[in-house]
Amino acid sequence: MTVMTAPQAETTEATKGGAPELIKAVPVRHPGRWVAAAIILVLAALAIQSLATNPRFAWGTVAAYIMDVNVVRGVGWTLLLTVLSMLLAIILAIILAFMRQSDNPILRWSSWFWVWFFRGTPVYTQLIFWGLVTVLYPSISLGIPFGPQLATYILSDPSKGFIPAILGLGLNESAYLAEIFRAGLKSVDKGQVEAAEALGMRGTKIMWRIVLPQAMRVIVPPTGNETIGMLKTTSLVLAVPFTLDLTFVTNALANRTYQPIPLLIVAAAWYLLVTSILMVGQHYIEKYYGRGVDNLVAAAAVNPAAAKAAGAGTPAGSDTGNGTAIPGGPTAAGPTIEESGR
């Protein structure tokens, strides 16, 4: 404590002699940056001018149809398809990721097979298949295997294209999400599980309370990506066929009015709006699951001051007071122990 090191001494002297003279250097010029920026601005201006002046964009038609009741309903169906198929995919993916970690080889293999199959075939093909399932199985019955049937659901009803669409999108997506969840679970340190086990916690609880919340930090960003991807993949449901979603509705309007370009703009504008809203949601989910890891800078900066305050005062609750962070205590205690018996 008494010995002052050289750098500290210099700093003290400099401070004594007034504020140091700060460097004011002439910055290096970057003409290339200015040229690149100019090119981009000119291109952007051209694009805006074209959008504004080319009558074939038919902005009047865009305005007429953007809030059209069929279009807005189409947005609703597209959102519903996205949310429900992602929900199905997430539930399946969690199960698949857990199965992949199982000690039971049959569970591991079937999880691997599922991912192999659904990732290995085009989603368009799968959607057509789910549309045709009604031909293979006109109805689904709930019952005892090889025994009596308890409930029956008729599939071969054309208005029921919604369920095959959800199945097709959800099952395909579950294969991708399963890999994302698997990577997330693997990213959590093994020590976390050991610590929980040592406290007497058990498998499922450890998974839900310790591992999964920390894995979510890794899982959420790519899952948000997949959700936005799903929003647009729903435009393929005409393969089922399901004909109420945004893309199908705007295409139908375009065919009816012979004005494909403004109606494509209508569809694109809605997709962009929904994507933007989903991105906001993703931001908050990421923030929630990043707790304890991300955005700790502010709190950490408070630490040194708080540490000093703590060291100066409160004794520990223990009777000896040995547990307190006394200033100098941390440095003094170690050597003291070492020396005491030597």
Which residues lie near other proteins (CB under 8 A)?
189, 191-192, 194-203, 205, 209-210, 213-214, 217, 289, 291-293, 296, 299-300, 303, 306, 309-310, 314, 316-318, 320, 322-325, 329-342
Instruction: Indicate if the alpha-carbon torsion angle 253, 256, 257, 259 is positive or negative.
Output: positive
CB closer to other proteins, 241 vs 311: 311
Residue with the two structure tokens 């406290």: 199
Residue 93 CB, nearest approach to other proteins (Å): 20
- Start-end of H helices in the chain: 6-16, 31-53, 59-66, 69-100, 105-120, 123-136, 162-186, 190-198, 203-205, 212-233, 246-257, 260-289, 297-312, 329-340
Residue 298 CB, nearest approach to other proteins (Å): 10
CB closer to other proteins, 13 vs 103: 103
* Helix 162-186 × helix 123-136 angle, to 10°: 130
Residue 2 CB, nearest approach to other proteins (Å): 18
CB closer to other proteins, 2 vs 204: 204
CB closer to other proteins, 141 vs 295: 295
Residue 204 CB, nearest approach to other proteins (Å): 10
Q: What are phi and psi of 87, to 5 degrees?
A: -60, -50
Closest CA to 244 of 170, 172, 165, 130: 165
CB closer to other proteins, 52 vs 298: 298
Q: Is 147 left (phi over 0), alpha (psi -120 to 50) or beta?
A: beta
Do the beta carbons of residue 116 and residue 312 sit within 8 Å?
A: no
Residue 308 CB, nearest approach to other proteins (Å): 11
CB closer to other proteins, 138 vs 323: 323
Residue 185 CB, nearest approach to other proteins (Å): 14
DSSP class of 137: -
Closest CA to 245 of 143, 162, 181: 162
